[in-house]
Amino acid sequence: MNPNSEIYNLRVNGKMHEVRDSWVGESLLYVLRERLNLPGTKGACEQGECGSCTVIMDGQAVCSCLVMAATAIDSDICTVESLSVDGTLTEVQDAFVTEGGVQCGFCTPGLVVAIEHLLSQNPDPSEIEVKEAISGNICRCTGYGRIFEAVDKAVSIRKAKTS
Amino acid sequence: MVEINFNHRKPTDVIALRRLDELKSVHIDAKKSLVTIGAGLPYQQMEHGEIAQYIPALAQAARTVGSPQIRSAGSIGGNLGTCSPAGDALPVLSALDATVNLQSADASRSVSVHDFMVGVKRNARLPGEIIVSTTLPIVSGWQGYAKVGVRNAMVISVASCCLVVDRTNGTITVALGAVGPTIIRCRETESWLASQIDLKTKATVSPNLLQEFGDRIANESKPIDDHRSTAAYRRHAVCVLARRLLTRANSQ
Question: Which value does ipTM take for this structure?
Answer: 0.92
Residues B166 and B207 both lie in one domain: yes
Determine whether the interchain pair A132/B68 forms a contact, defined as Cβ–Cβ distance below 8 Å: yes
List chain A residues with CB under 8 Å of B11. Answer: 25
List chain A residues with CB under 8 Å of B16. Answer: 24, 68, 70-71, 73
Chain A contact present for B70, CB below 8 A? yes
Residues B48 and B129 both lie in one domain: yes
Q: Could you tell me the domains of chain A?
A: 8-80 (3.10.20.30), 85-162 (1.10.150.120)
Determine whether the interchain pair B5/A46 forms a contact, defined as Cβ–Cβ distance below 8 Å: yes
Given B78, B108, B137, the domain boundary residue is B137
Supply the pTM of this predicted model: 0.94
Residues B222 and B104 both lie in one domain: no
Q: Output the pLDDT for position B153.
A: 83
Residue B223: CA atoms inside 13 Å, Cβ hemisphere, count?
28
List chain A residues with CB under 8 Å of B72. Answer: 60-62
Residues B86 and B153 both lie in one domain: no
Give tens-digit pLDDT for B164-176: 999 999 999 999 9
Given B137, B167, B190, the domain boundary residue is B137
Q: How far is B155 from chain A (nearest CA, A)?
A: 9
Residues B152 and B239 both lie in one domain: yes
Burial of B250 (0-12, 13-18, 19+ CB in 10 A): middle
pLDDT tens for chain A, 163 residues: list them.
456 678 999 999 999 999 998 899 999 999 999 999 999 999 999 999 999 999 999 999 999 999 999 999 999 999 999 999 898 999 999 999 999 999 999 999 999 999 999 999 999 999 999 999 999 999 999 889 999 999 999 999 999 998 8
Query: What is the SS3 assignment for B60-103?
Result: HHHHCCCCHHHHCCCEHHHHHHHCCCCCCCHHHHHHCCCEEEEE
List chain A residues with CB under 8 Å of B69. Answer: 48, 51, 54, 61-63, 114, 136
Number of domains in chain B: 2
Residues B94 and B149 both lie in one domain: no
Interface of B with A in 1-40 (CB under 8 A): 1-2, 4-6, 11-16, 18-19
- Rounded CA-CA distance B47/B49 in Å is 7
Chain A contact present for B208, CB below 8 A? no
Q: Output the pLDDT for position B115.
A: 98
Q: Output the pLDDT for position B198.
A: 86
Residues B194 and B241 both lie in one domain: yes
Q: How far is A71 from chain B (nearest CA, A)?
A: 5
Residues B110 and B158 both lie in one domain: no
Given B91, B121, B137, the domain boundary residue is B137
Residues B193 and B219 both lie in one domain: yes
List chain B residues with CB under 8 Å of A114. Answer: 68-69
Chain A contact present for B154, CB below 8 A? yes
Domain assignment of residue B172, given as a range: 143-249
Determine whether the interchain pair B6/A46 forms a contact, defined as Cβ–Cβ distance below 8 Å: yes
Residues B125 and B198 both lie in one domain: no
Q: Which residues of chain A are at the B interface, by a Cβ-Cβ cutoff of 8 Å? A: 4, 24-27, 46-49, 51, 54, 60-63, 65-68, 70-71, 73-74, 114, 132-133, 135-138
Q: Choose the mutation target among A62, A77, A121 for the interface with B, i.e. most B CBs under 10 Å.
A: A62
Determine whether the interchain pair B16/A74 forms a contact, defined as Cβ–Cβ distance below 8 Å: no
SS3 A128: helix
Residues B23 and B41 both lie in one domain: yes
Residues B132 and B148 both lie in one domain: no
CATH number, residue B130? 3.30.465.10
Q: Output the pLDDT for position A3.
A: 61
DSSP-derived secondary structure for A84-119: SBTTBPPHHHHHHHHTT--SS-SSHHHHHHHHHHHH
Q: Any residues with CB less than 8 A from the CB of B111 and at least 6 apart, and which? A: B99, B100, B102, B124
List chain B residues with CB under 8 Å of A47. Answer: 2, 5-6
Burial of B134 (0-12, 13-18, 19+ CB in 10 A): buried
pLDDT along chain B (252 residues), means of 10: 91 90 95 97 96 97 95 96 96 98 97 97 95 98 95 88 94 96 97 90 85 97 92 97 94 77
Chain A contact present for B124, CB below 8 A? no
Determine whether the interchain pair B1/A68 forms a contact, defined as Cβ–Cβ distance below 8 Å: yes
Q: How far is A6 from chain B (nearest CA, A)?
A: 12
Q: Output the pLDDT for position B154.
A: 84
- Rounded CA-CA distance B35/B27 in Å is 6
Q: Which of B1, B70, B153 sits opposite A27 (nearest CB)?
A: B1
Q: How far is CA A71 from CA A74, A112, A155, B15, B16, in A?
A: 8, 24, 33, 9, 5
Determine whether the interchain pair B14/A24 forms a contact, defined as Cβ–Cβ distance below 8 Å: yes
